[in-house]
Amino acid sequence: MSGFEVVGLILALYPVVADAVAYYRVVRSGDIIHDLVEEVRAERVIFSHSIQHLCLSQVSGTDVVGVVDPNSEIFALWQQSSFLNKLLASHAAEATTAILETLKSIHSELQQVHRELDRINPNAVDFRTRLRTSLFTLRSGQEASAMKTGLKKIHKLNKRLRRLVSSRPQHKQLPGPGTEATLCSSSCAGFATGVFRAVESHYRCSCQRNHPTKLQVPQLPLRSQDAGKGQKPMLQLLFSADDDMLEKRSTGTRGAESTSQSTLSGETSVSSLRSQGTDLEHSQADYSLSSVQSNNSLASSMTLVYNPKCYCLAVTECGKDRNDEIRDICASIRALGQASDSPSKQQTLGVLQTDSVNYELKSPRPIGDGDTRAVLSLDDLFTGDRNKLARRHRISLALSLAWGVTTLHQTPWIGPSWTWSDFSAIMDRQRGQFDEGLFITKYFSSQQNPNITETPCAEAPPSLLKIALGEPVVARLGYALIELAKGERFASLHEPSASTSTDKDLQDLLTARHLLETGVVRDEECEAYSAVVQVCLYQQIHREEGLGMKTLRSQDAWFERDLTRAIVQPLYNIYTREWGSPSPAVSAY
């Protein structure tokens, strides 16, 4: 063999040898097994989500977790044909059979993968066992291996299961006459604006920081037959009892938001399947499928960040003949924490006096600091992974957000650059429920320090978006609805093939419209949901008289009524057809 032939042979073999060495290092590092375990975890979570979604109508609260827990008494409940027939009463008989067979197939494939993973023993000492483990790992990394083939099959079966579960016969979708409540506008914009002005003028402390204050979004349902009864409006306000702690947290949040100001949230994508747990969670115990918990349970498997202790007070209009005016809200709230008696024993905190109307703050209740109830930001709840929120809860969030935007759009409480972190809820950590509806946050500076930035998102919207759409607040609602339907953060949904723009906010609008027009939103949810998103992104609705189209404008006297009819009512109908009327306490599972 000549020298040239030797050199040619070496050059030909070099890439093969290099790839083999690299692959051997990956095997030795354990990345192959780690990735396999994470893929199994993801498919198991999707499978568990589908089962729990099916069982929500019959099993509620924390019990629904037991449906997929091998140690629970109701673990095999979904395998009973009689129970499944009750759950799938709205499906055709052949659909029920197909769903049951698909569930059994996925369960069988997961059991097979479980047995394969049990053959791995990374703590083996003797040479033969370590050799068998290494050879098994080498084979498992190949695309044609039994492990990879099984995972692909499970993935296809999970997709089929989601299609079967979400399908409904056409005659079952149409409600009978008079079965759905007709919502009306809340007419609380004036009250909310008055409360805002009163709170704004009563921070008279010398604090060098903002004071986060949360206002309750009016609750659904508000039906037309319930309106106009002359009742005084009453909402709740949340005041932080530890502004220092909350300021540190909001500063960190603001730093993260500055990288994507024009999106509704961060960069997390559902396509990233790696778990973000602790090192202990990635130990050998993860290899057992029985240890992979469903991420539908907020209490058991989601890492939630609760706001510091705060006080909840009801706010309502009162007479002008009161002499217990609150001089400084900051000082009054701090005094609640220093009082010897329990704050809940106080009937009232005092009155916020304004030129026209007085507002009473009454029935103070502490939340947090060892209490079972805590305030949770929606930015922490919606992590961008649809498998961590059941569809019922995602639709409930969509309805609550739409109602909040509709009722508060013409008030100072919500701005054109609102984000997920502007909304929060009071959660009962033991029962896994939201008890008080949604709250929206506004940051107030002291009257003695008016130069402090009022809110982390006080910047005006980019001019191009304002030109493209007259109501940026409504457009952002459309972005949020797409995120909830798709299960991904909006920043991860940009596609290279879609239209592009140098303006970031306008680029988000083009991306949202691309996802709508290509049928992505409709395929993930339904036609009615897609129609709601279209209203948000194009801001055109049909006139009630059927005389053409009408543009949504906040200057219009009927703006809130139009939003209620075109956005809130369809979402309300979607929810009630599936699960009945929304209750004040919405399950977090």
**pLDDT over 60 at 150, yes or no:** yes
Does residue 284 sit within a domain?
no
pLDDT greater at residue 138 or residue 516: 516
Are residues 472 and 343 part of one domain? Answer: yes
- Identify the pLDDT of residue 488: 76
> Looking at residue 202, what DSSP letter applies?
T
Tokens of 539: 């801001």
- Identify the pLDDT of residue 201: 86
Q: Residue 581, Cβ neighbours under 10 Å: how many?
A: 12
Please report which confidence band the pLDDT of residue 589 belongs to, taking 50, 70 and 90 as the band edges.
very low
Are residues 302 and 154 part of one domain? Answer: no
- Identify the pLDDT of residue 456: 47
Answer yes or no: are the C-beta atoms of 61 and 176 closer than 8 Å: no
Does residue 181 sit within a domain?
no
Does residue 285 sit within a domain?
no
Q: Note the Cα 14 to chain centre separation in Å.
A: 50
**pLDDT over 60 at 252, yes or no:** no
Please report which confidence band the pLDDT of residue 584 belongs to, taking 50, 70 and 90 as the band edges.
very low
Tokens of 481: 């609805």
Are residues 323 and 248 part of one domain? Answer: yes
pLDDT tens across 4-28, in order? 666 666 666 667 666 666 655 655 5
- Identify the pLDDT of residue 14: 63
Are residues 375 and 256 part of one domain? Answer: yes
* Total domains present in the chain: 2
- Identify the pLDDT of residue 286: 28
* Mean pLDDT, range 387-410, rounded to an integer: 82
Q: Residue 454, Cβ neighbours under 10 Å: how many?
A: 15
Answer yes or no: are the C-beta atoms of 192 and 235 closer than 8 Å: yes
- Identify the pLDDT of residue 585: 38
Please report which confidence band the pLDDT of residue 234 belongs to, taking 50, 70 and 90 as the band edges.
confident
* Pairwise CA distance, residues 188 & 194, whole Å: 10
Answer yes or no: are the C-beta atoms of 175 and 574 closer than 8 Å: no
pLDDT tens across 322-366, in order? 788 888 888 888 887 776 566 556 778 888 888 788 888 887 888
- Residue 537 belongs to domain spanning: 189-260+294-587
Are residues 211 and 116 part of one domain? Answer: no
Does residue 7 sit within a domain?
yes
Are residues 141 and 249 part of one domain? Answer: no
Query: 304-342 burial by CB neighbour count: b if 16+ within 10 A, else e?
Result: eebbbbbbbbbbeebeeeeeeebebbbebbeebeeeeee
- Identify the pLDDT of residue 207: 81
Three-state DSSP at 157 gives helix
* Mean pLDDT, range 83-96, rounded to an integer: 61
- Identify the pLDDT of residue 23: 55
- Identify the pLDDT of residue 352: 87
Residues of the chain with pLDDT > 90, as a percent, come to: 2
Tokens of 537: 């992104």
* Pairwise CA distance, residues 323 & 335, whole Å: 19
Residue identified by tokens 């979004």 is 217
* Mean pLDDT, range 539-567, rounded to an integer: 81
Q: Which run of H or E residues covers position 31? A: helix 31-55
Are residues 514 and 428 part of one domain? Answer: yes
CA dist list (Å): 382 to 100, 253, 302, 376, 516 = 30, 15, 10, 11, 21
Please report which confidence band the pLDDT of residue 119 belongs to, taking 50, 70 and 90 as the band edges.
low
**Among 338, 352, 348, 364, which residue's Cα sits nearest to residue 236?**
364
Provide the mean pLDDT of the chain.
69
pLDDT tens across 298-310, in order? 333 344 555 557 8
**pLDDT over 70 at 452, yes or no:** no
Please report which confidence band the pLDDT of residue 167 belongs to, taking 50, 70 and 90 as the band edges.
low
Does residue 202 sit within a domain?
yes
* Domain termination site, one of 127, 145, 173: 173
Are residues 472 and 357 part of one domain? Answer: yes
- Identify the pLDDT of residue 175: 41
Residues of the chain with pLDDT > 70, as a percent, come to: 52
pLDDT tens across 261-298, in order? 333 333 332 222 223 333 333 322 222 222 222 233 33
Are residues 149 and 224 part of one domain? Answer: no
- Identify the pLDDT of residue 291: 26
In 429-494, beta strands by DSSP E: 433-444
Does residue 571 sit within a domain?
yes
* Domain termination site, one of 113, 148, 173: 173
* Pairwise CA distance, residues 389 & 411, whole Å: 30
- Lowest mean pLDDT segment, chosen from 29-43, 195-209, 519-533: 29-43
Three-state DSSP at 542 gives strand
Are residues 211 and 168 part of one domain? Answer: no
pLDDT greater at residue 406 or residue 466: 406
* Domain termination site, one of 147, 173, 199: 173
Does residue 283 sit within a domain?
no
> Looking at residue 182, what DSSP letter applies?
P
How many alpha carbons lie under 13 Å from residue 533 in its C-beta half-sphere?
30
Are residues 322 and 250 part of one domain? Answer: yes
**Among 412, 563, 556, 543, which residue's Cα sits nearest to residue 475?**
563
pLDDT greater at residue 453 or residue 519: 519
Contacts of 479 (CB under 8 A, 6+ apart): 263, 264, 490, 508, 512
Are residues 217 and 138 part of one domain? Answer: no
Does residue 184 sit within a domain?
no
Q: Residue 473, Cβ neighbours under 10 Å: how many?
A: 20
* Pairwise CA distance, residues 38 & 25, whole Å: 19
